[in-house]
Structure 1
Amino acid sequence: MTTAPLTTPPRPLLRLSLAPHDTPPRLIDGAWWPRSYDLLTELPLLLGGLPPDWGNITIVTVNGSTWSATPGRILVCNQVVRLRRTETASAPHTVTLLAPGQGRWDLLVVPPDTTEEAAEPLMTI
């Protein structure tokens, strides 16, 4: 009997583009192109791929009508992250990341079903 070694499937690549750190403040700090609207799946990948100097993100605000239902908080990278939902019509395709004492970052969310051709200019920050 032969046993196959256990392997974990590769993590999908994070599709994230951030504005250069040395640029003046802007309305949008980057663009994120998740693969689904399942925040419990997508958020750990996003937070794990952020620059270390952004600090520990403890609050994430998303558009409530866009994302799947989520609990009020989740554990990501061994830290509790509070999830807030908003129904603000002015920002249906953004996610706000807060790190106390470090800052606030607003990312454009490219819809998961966007074609690569259409997403490319949106990911250019």
Structure 2
Amino acid sequence: MTSTTAPTRQARLALTPRTSMAGLLDGAWWPYSRDLATELPPLVNALRDRFGRVTRITANPMPWPVAPYQVPVGGYAVHVGWFTDQAPDTMILLSYNLGRCDLLVIPPETEPSSAARLMAAASAPGNVHTTGTLMSEEHETGRLLRGAGAGEDAWETDGGASRQPQPRSHPRPVVGARMIYLPQGMRR
């Protein structure tokens, strides 16, 4: 008996290097289609070594014609939370073990050269661009904003100063707990 399922393609994914300072994004994903049930399993499998077992994702339903609440991935279900206030080109993947992974989702119909630029920018060490900034700049000009390593001379001619990226921690999700941030002097 032969199987009727199509072979799974490898996820087109670019992640920031593990040894770099964290930026606003952990990388970019360029799915082959807008079918989340088909595209999510290869993505989750590609992230397993780095982020552990992904159990939940959050996304905006606008780019996905079918919005399932669960997607089967290798013997378990990844739960999907749909949020219209989340940027349409952002996907957040959550893992019990290692926290979260924030990805730019590049539309499947994007030209390969444009997708390559977006993937490089989103996975650049210390990137300071949001998914919305990256997508609108690529759409409007076909080129990306200067990265965190842009020279001071270039920024001076633009009338601004470079922003140093701030490290972003990946907190582990804790069920039933409330995080309270205390000023430096009030910590024990």
TM-score normalised per structure 2: 0.58
Residues in 1 aligned to 2:47 and 2:100: alpha-carbon distance in whole angstroms: 13
Which stretch of the first structure deviates more once superposed, 20-29 or 111-120? Answer: 20-29
Q: CA deviation at 1:12?
A: 2.3
Residues in 2 aligned to 1:6 and 1:73: alpha-carbon distance in whole angstroms: 27
Residue 45 (structure 2) aligns with:
48
Gaps of 5+ in 1: none
Residue 61 (structure 2) aligns with:
64
Which stretch of the first structure deviates more once superposed, 108-117 or 18-27? Answer: 18-27
Q: Is the 8 A contact 1:31 1:109 kept in 2?
A: yes
Q: Is the 8 A contact 2:28 2:103 kept in 1?
A: yes
Which stretch of the first structure deviates more once superposed, 19-28 or 105-114? Answer: 19-28
Q: Is the 8 A contact 1:40 1:70 kept in 2?
A: no
Name which one, 1 or 2, has greater alpha-carbon Rg.
2
Task: Choose the corresponding residue for 2:12, options 10, 15, 18.
Answer: 15
Residues in 1 aligned to 2:68 and 2:113: alpha-carbon distance in whole angstroms: 34
Which structure 2 residues correspond to residues 1-125 of structure 1 after superposition, within 5 A?
Answer: 6=2, 10-88=7-85, 91-124=87-120, 125=123
Residue 149 (structure 2) aligns with:
none
Residues in 2 aligned to 1:40 and 1:60: alpha-carbon distance in whole angstroms: 12
TM-score normalised per structure 1: 0.85
Cα offsets for 1:41-76 (capped at 9, x unmatched): 100111111141311100011111111223321221
What's the Cα RMSD here?
A: 1.9
* Higher strand content, 1 or 2: 1
Ranked by relative contact order (alpha carbons within 8 Å, sequence separation 6 or more), the top structure is 1
Cα offsets for 1:56-113 (capped at 9, x unmatched): 1000111111112233212211122101111125x21011000023111100001100
Cα offsets for 1:10-42 (capped at 9, x unmatched): 432321001001122221101000011110010
* Higher helix content, 1 or 2: 2
User: Partner letter of residue 99 of structure 2?
Assistant: G
Q: Number of aligned pairs? A: 120
Residues in 2 aligned to 1:118 and 1:69: alpha-carbon distance in whole angstroms: 26
Residues in 2 aligned to 1:115 and 1:51: alpha-carbon distance in whole angstroms: 28
User: Partner letter of residue 98 of structure 1?
Assistant: L
Q: Work out the percentage of aligned pairs sharing the same amino acid.
A: 39
